[in-house]
């Protein structure tokens, strides 16, 4: 459920109710903000655009190289604006970039007309960042409602990171290489 309807951070929670924190083992931090007018937190805990269209920004930070950002969204009421979908990113080396929603893989997972008007939707966007030069350490995902009366029920982000071998694994690979060279000489 969301905690701040207008301009404040809605911090990501683990399943146990604790906030996501950076840690030395590939930590991630994620926060969602709404900059649309007239939003409230509904009794269900949803972020509801009662007085205007929701304008959500979700920012993620990581201490590993982000190679993919996969976003899954559930809404009810008026639909989201597909033209508003975008992702920006920054690298540890100072680079940055922009990707429109049309550059991502899209899936409409569920779309049904609601009896009270509008629709109940679940959709996904997958942004491939694996070809980005540098180490992507932060990103922003942007989405707006097409009009007021959209309820953001859930938004989840899966951060795909590059696999970096641990120092012990690299040492074992080095030993295997040395052992292999020694056997060939005999």
Q: How do residues 106-135 score in pLDDT, each as one tens digit?
A: 999 999 998 878 899 999 999 999 999 999
Other Cβ atoms closer than 10 A to 124: 16
Could you tell me what percent of the chain has a pLDDT over 90?
A: 60
Could you tell me what percent of the chain has a pLDDT over 70?
A: 77
What is the spatial distance between Cα 22 and Cα 158, in angstroms, rounded to a whole number? Answer: 15
pLDDT band of residue 63 (cuts 50, 70, 90) is: confident
Residues forming beta bridges with residue 122, ordered by sequence position: 74, 110
- 60's tokens: 């993620």
pLDDT band of residue 1 (cuts 50, 70, 90) is: low
pLDDT of residue 14: 45
pLDDT of residue 167: 56
Taking a C-beta distance cutoff of 8 angstroms, is the pair 155, 32 a contact? Answer: yes
pLDDT of residue 97: 97
The CATH code of the domain at 10-185 is 2.60.120
Three-state SS string across the chain, please?
Answer: CCCCCCCCCEECECCCCCECCCCCCCCEEEEEEECCCCEEECCCCCEEECCCCCEEEEEEEECCCEEEEEEEEEEEECCECHHHCEEEEEECCCCEEEEEHHHCEEEEEEEEECCCCCEEEEEEEEEECCCCCCCEEEEEEEEEECCCCEEEEEEEEEEEECCCCCHHHHHHHHHHHHHHHHHHHC
Other Cβ atoms closer than 10 A to 111: 11
């Amino acid at each position: 459920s969301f905690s701040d309807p207008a301009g404040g951070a809605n911090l990501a929670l683990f399943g146990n109710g604790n906030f996501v924190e950076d840690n030395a083992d590939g930590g991630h931090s994620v926060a969602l903000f709404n900059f649309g007018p007239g939003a409230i937190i509904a009794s269900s805990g949803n972020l509801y655009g009662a007085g205007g269209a929701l304008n959500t920004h979700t920012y993620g930070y990581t201490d590993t190289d982000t190679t993919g950002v996969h976003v899954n969204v559930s809404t009810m009421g008026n639909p989201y604006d597909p033209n508003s979908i975008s992702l920006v990113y920054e690298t540890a080396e100072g680079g940055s970039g922009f990707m429109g929603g049309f550059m991502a893989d899209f899936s409409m997972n569920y779309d049904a007309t609601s009896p009270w008007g509008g629709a109940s939707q679940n959709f996904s966007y997958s942004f491939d960042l694996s070809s980005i030069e540098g180490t992507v350490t932060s990103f922003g995902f942007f989405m707006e409602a097409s009009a007021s009366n959209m309820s953001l029920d859930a938004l989840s982000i899966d951060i795909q990171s590059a696999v970096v071998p641990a120092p012990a694994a690299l040492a074992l690979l080095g030993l295997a290489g040395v052992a292999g060279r020694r056997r060939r000489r005999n």
